[in-house]
Chains A and B, each alone.
Chain A
Amino acid sequence: MKRLLAAFGVAGLVAAGALLTAAPASAAAADTASVSVVHGIPNTPVNVFVNGKSTIADFQPLTVAGPLQLPPGSYEVTVFPAADTAGTGTPVIKASATVAAGDNVTLVAHLTADGKPTITPYVNDVSSIAAGQARLVVRHDAAAPAVDVRANGAVAFPGLVNPKEASADLAAGTISADVVLAGTSTVAIGPADLTLKEGTATFVFAVGSAADKTLGLVVQTMTGMDSAPSGVPAGTGGQSASLYSQPGWVAVMAGLGLAMAAAGLFALRSGRRRLAGN
């Protein structure tokens, strides 16, 4: 699940190359990679081209596309302004990503901490979740300083910086989440109610720009990670216990019976001998 991210500038463009390694075990059966794309750059509708083909047209800011099911391999992702429908002009972002079968990845087009467009790939943790719980993953993809993410007023994820993520499995339910400047109670985003459904993962992306006052949240949920409770303890009395299941008494009784039968046989034999002896 480790991620290798190398970002480098090419002719004024920001390019990000992502090498995504082995698939999580739970998704090993899949022969494709599941790839979602988040548009986290405000006020900039775009067209997304993958390997030169228009894949997501008129992609609106603060929305999520996909997941696409892609065969394993290396992909070149180029992002053009929405007006450039042919993808012939100068791309806003250009990046390449290598995905393996079974990967579950979200590519986020967003601003760096200092406001430059970039793409960050995240490997999504879709491992199974304990019964009764839900997973919350928060990702800092905004042109903003370090933040604390609070749940119901208490700091849940402290000191998150662009483009880091933090994650926890919590009791399923609705929480009120907000984002504050790290170490303060100055609210930067929110509060917003998040319904964390049992057995699902909720990915929250903080995007936009603090300087431009365009900070916002994009939320993506993934389902199917539920697991069963660990048991069904439905009886404490013992009144309904089956005799069969305590076979100790059966063995004792059978042994006793055999002993009696043997004694009887012995008595018979000695009795007969005595009779015959006369």
Chain B
Amino acid sequence: MTHRRRAPATAQILPGVLLLVAGVLIAVGAPGIWAMTHQDPALQAINSGVALRLAQESNGSSTVVPGQVGQSTTTRSPVPQPATARTTPTGAPGRSAPPGSDVSRGLSGVRTTVPTAPNVRPTSTVAPRNLDVPRIGSPARLLIPAIGVDAPVEAVGVDDRGEMAIPAQVDQIGWYRFGSAPGASTGSVVMSGHVDSAQQGLGAFHDLGGLRAGDAIVVADAAGRQLRYRVIGREAFDKATVPLADLFSRRGAARLTLITCGGGFNPAELSYLDNIVVTAVPA
């Protein structure tokens, strides 16, 4: 025991100090690294709640009472006549009583329309469009210079589970054709693309979460006509609670909604836990 008594004190405490320091480093560092990865821009909201606010924004031309908006009528004359013998209301029957209007006026105050115009194709009676939003054809290409996206766009609907259909190719973008079209005065133009695929690797929207407020997005149709948008919001939603009704709403302010996946990954179901949503408005 004599040699130990003579040993320097530092040698006695060195293993303990090393253990303590390493332990503290790991105990602090692990959550620290976690916190840093938590800074993953995709999961940090920019302008939180903007998607919902725009969906509920009233632009004076939308009514959400089902079956009472945009009603149009068509009549078809007796059989021998060709299908061109259609008539459509001369006025706008769907807007006879806007929300909040004085309905107590009774029948005398209710607008009625008797369809009389012949040989007119049926028209849907949505409110007049804003002329400051140019119309283009169906979107054919999406360009997002900030994250190097220049991808073809195809019109998609729903799959057999009722979810939005996503193009089979990871480098393509799907435009939800049942929703608003680019240039429409109201509603959400929804485009979705893969963040990645088990078979094909990274997708066109892999870096969607890196977009920042003010970044430019360009939607072009097949003829090359372009509409420009600018990013105003970026949010991550748990898929269990993602507000799809608002993100896909055909009402509310005109906007472009880009959706992909992110957050944690469930390898058993090959599915991400979150949706990353970027909201942009006409520039």
Partner-B contacts on A (CB < 8 A): 26-27, 29-32, 34, 36, 42, 50-51, 53, 55-60, 62-71, 104, 124, 126-128, 130-132, 172, 189-190, 192-193, 198-199, 201, 208, 213-247, 249-250, 253-254, 256-272, 274-275, 278
Q: Are B245 and A228 in contact (CB under 8 A)?
A: yes
Contact: A236 with B112, CB < 8 Å? no
In the complex, what residues of A have CB within 8 A of residue B198's CB?
Answer: 236-238
Contact call B71/A36, Cβ cutoff below 8 A: yes
Enumerate chain B residues within 8 angstroms of A34, measured Cβ to Cβ: 65, 67-68
With A and B bound together, what is the CA distance between A214 and B78 in angstroms? 6
Find chain B residues with CB under 8 A from A275 CB.
Answer: 9, 12-13
Q: Which 7 A-B pairs have the closest CB atoms?
A: A261-B23, A126-B67, A245-B264, A264-B20, A257-B26, A264-B19, A260-B23
Min Cβ gap A28→B in Å is 10
With a cutoff of 8 Å between Cβ atoms, the chain B residues found around residue A221 in the complex are 71-74, 122, 124
CB-CB contacts below 8 Å: B184-203 with A: 192-203
Interface residues of chain B, those whose CB is within 8 Å of chain A, are 4-5, 9, 12-13, 15-31, 33-34, 37-38, 40, 42-43, 63-79, 83, 87, 89, 93-94, 96-97, 103-104, 106-108, 110, 112-116, 122, 124, 157-158, 161-164, 166, 176, 178, 192-203, 205-206, 239, 242, 244-245, 247-250, 259-265, 267, 270-275
Query: What number of A-B contacts does a CB cutoff of 8 Å give?
Result: 360
What is the interface of chain B mostly: helix, strand, loop, or mixed? mixed
One of A60, A131, A208, A224 near B178 (C-beta < 8 A): A131
Alpha-carbon gap, A5 to B242, bound state (A): 44
- Can you list 19 A-B pairs with a CB-CB distance of less than 8 A? A36-B73, A64-B93, A68-B112, A190-B79, A199-B250, A216-B76, A225-B66, A234-B203, A235-B195, A237-B197, A237-B201, A238-B198, A238-B272, A239-B201, A240-B261, A244-B34, A261-B20, A267-B15, A272-B12
B196 neighbours in A (Cβ, 8 Å): 235-240
Q: A233 and B166: CB pair below 8 A? A: yes
Question: Given A70-B107, A257-B27 in contact, is the A198-B38 Cβ separation under 8 Å?
Answer: no
A-chain residues with CB within 8 Å of residue B89 when the two chains form the complex: 64
**A222 & B96 in contact (Cβ 8 Å cutoff):** no
Contact A172 B70 (CB under 8 A): no
Identity of the chain B residue whose Cβ is nearest the Cβ of A131 in the assembled complex:
B158
With A56-B112, A57-B114: A232-B275 Cβ-Cβ less than 8 Å: yes
Complex CA distance for A253 and B163, rounded to whole angstroms: 38
Is the pair A65, B74 in contact by a Cβ cutoff of 8 Å? no
CB pair A71 B104 closer than 8 Å = yes
With A69-B97, A234-B275 as contacts: A216 and B77 at CB distance below 8 Å: yes
- In the complex formed, the residue of B with least CB distance to A193 is B83
Cβ contact within 8 Å between B271 and A265: no
Query: How far, in Å, is A98 (CB) from chain B's closest CB?
Result: 15
Closest A residue by C-beta to B260 = A234
Set of chain A residues within 8 Å of B124, measured between Cβ atoms: 221, 223
B202 & A244 in contact (Cβ 8 Å cutoff): no
Q: Smallest CB–CB gap between B260 and chain A, Å?
A: 5
